[in-house]
Structure 1
Amino acid sequence: MANSDPDKLMSKADKLTKLSFTRWSIDWKTATSLYEQAAVAYRFKRDNEKAKEAFEKASKGQEMISSPWDAAKHMETAATLAKELGRLNEVADHYRRASELYMEAGRSQPASDALAKGASALEEGMPDEAIKMYTDSCVILEEDNKEQMAFDLYRNVAAIYIKTERYTDAAAFFLRLGVAADKSNAVNSQCKAYLSAIIVYLYAHDFAQAQKCYNDCSQVDAFLNSDQNRCAMKLLAAYEDGDAEEVKRAANSSTINHLDHVVIRLAKKLPTGDLSGLRKAEEPGAEEGAALDENDLT
């Protein structure tokens, strides 16, 4: 294979996919095999640009001969090559197409995985697109009742939101993780997610929302009787007392040290603002946060 001339293989394959005066039908099966051979040969030569094109065409060929699984695999390889070439937009497009092809093949888990791989590749260069792809990956698993397999994806989204200083969105995704964990009977993950959301609100110096989040989550028995609940209660009590030293002590508890690293880092920076006046600011709206729509959390 290493001795094959990939350019000639590509040329021959291209001819088989076009009609002419002497060719009245398209031979996708043979062309696809040639594209695959060329793709391997280009990779052997480390010609990623041409290898990517060959895998794209091989994917199209497998799609034309009704083999969406193989088409998806080739498209994923093309996406990997696009990443190596720095073509981030193509990375997103190729992984999304791979996901669609896996769905056509009736394989939801690989479809979700393809989106997650794309999101991971784009976290640094295109964080917003990474968030969309992680979210779509979660949706596929949610619709297939496989929420437990999406836990890391929720965390990844929350982490990106934190890195880009969108704390309300980060907290919302931790709460979404809590919902998924509840459906999966993963009590520990559920309680960690709720505590994480509260810490994120506190880091954003939104004590009122942190208190409301705590009140809502405490309506869930699993959280009410947990170490995470007791930790959150100590944090909030320290905030209400305006005791910065007690906030720091509570934020360094072993319970918090078992959360995601991105949340631990936030906790170690608490308190982030002036604690004076929090009690007064909270009292007028205390009753507003009392009501709970249980469907939001369980």
Structure 2
Amino acid sequence: MESAGQLAKELGLIDEAVDSYRRASELFLHCGKVQPSADVLSRGARAVEDERSEIAVRMYLDACAMLEEDGREQMAFDNYRAAVNLYVKLNRFKDAAAVLVRWGQSADKCHATQSQCKAYLSAVIVHLYDEDLKQAQQCYNDCSQVNAFSRSDQSETAEKLLSAYCEGNPDEIRHVVSSSHIITHLDHTIVRLAKQLPKGDVKAASVVEPGDDELNEEDLT
């Protein structure tokens, strides 16, 4: 079935390709082969993401869910990364940030603390790039409910960024980004966005100090 999907893609029959990849995934899953099932979905998503971006994102996230249900959270990380990159490419920044938070929660389940903290910092950066300072602050506060993040270098970097925004100081924002070895170790897509901060009129923005905003009712712990 996967070969049929590849052939359909080559012939420009994109919807048929999607159906074939999904069918191949279902057949593997029916046989209890979760990893091959998720891998087929991922390959299918890569094959059609230029022509069917929305469908490709769903395929990546379906692969993530499949692996997580099988207790293989760490194997889902590449699919999360692909979904984030595609959402950024589509300028769907709120969706990208939401996937990053979900990635962080998945990393928490498999005790991948470094990946978790990177994902949460990345989500804050994406909101800042989207010029949604209030949501960036809320995201930071929500993620700070997780002890591993609140004590991390990534949290400290996020706090420095938000403080610079609170001060309306674009030079300090650029300094935090350019001098941070923490940001340079994030995924390339996020680093690229961070290097373009700040966007918009920072001095006109009004943001509460980090930690002062009310916490979201949905606890991330």
Alpha-carbon distance in 1 for matches of 2:50, 2:65: 22
Q: Could you tell me which of 265, 275, 298 is aligned with 2:202?
A: 275
1:291 is aligned to 2:215: yes
Matched with 2:46 is: 120
Matched with 1:132 is: 58
Stretches of structure 1 that go unaligned for 5 or more consecutive residues are 1-74
Matched with 2:184 is: 257
Matched with 1:36 is: none
Q: Could you tell me which of 166, 183, 187 is aligned with 2:109?
A: 183
TM-score (norm 1): 0.70
SS of residue paired to 2:197: coil
TM-score (norm 2): 0.94
Stretches of structure 2 that go unaligned for 5 or more consecutive residues are none
Computed over aligned residues only, the root mean square deviation of the Cα atoms, in angstroms, reads: 1.4
What amino acid maps onto 1:195 in structure 2?
L
Q: State how 1:30-45 maps to structure 2 within 5 Å.
A: none
Q: State how 1:1-298 maps to structure 2 within 5 Å.
A: 75-252=1-178, 253-279=180-206, 282=207, 289-293=213-217, 295=219, 297-298=220-221
Identical counterparts, % of pairs: 51
SS of residue paired to 1:237: helix
Deviation at 1:291, TM superposition (A): 2.2
Higher RCO (C-alpha 8 Å, min separation 6): 2
Deviation at 1:271, TM superposition (A): 0.3
CA contact (8 A) 2:169 2:203 kept: no
1:91-132 per-position Cα deviation (integer Å, ceiling 9, x unaligned): 101000001111111111111111111001111111111011
SS of residue paired to 2:202: coil
What amino acid maps onto 1:245 in structure 2?
D
Deviation at 1:294, TM superposition (A): 5.8
Larger radius of gyration: 1
SS of residue paired to 2:203: coil
1:191-245 per-position Cα deviation (integer Å, ceiling 9, x unaligned): 0000000000000011111011111111211111111111111111111111111
What amino acid maps onto 1:141 in structure 2?
L
Matched with 1:9 is: none
What amino acid maps onto 1:92 in structure 2?
V
Alpha-carbon distance in 2 for matches of 1:78, 1:260: 33
Alpha-carbon distance in 1 for matches of 2:118, 2:165: 20
Alpha-carbon distance in 2 for matches of 1:188, 1:88: 37
Q: Runs ≥4 in structure 1, deviation > 4 angstroms?
A: none
Alpha-carbon distance in 2 for matches of 1:260, 1:91: 29
Alpha-carbon distance in 1 for matches of 2:131, 2:189: 17
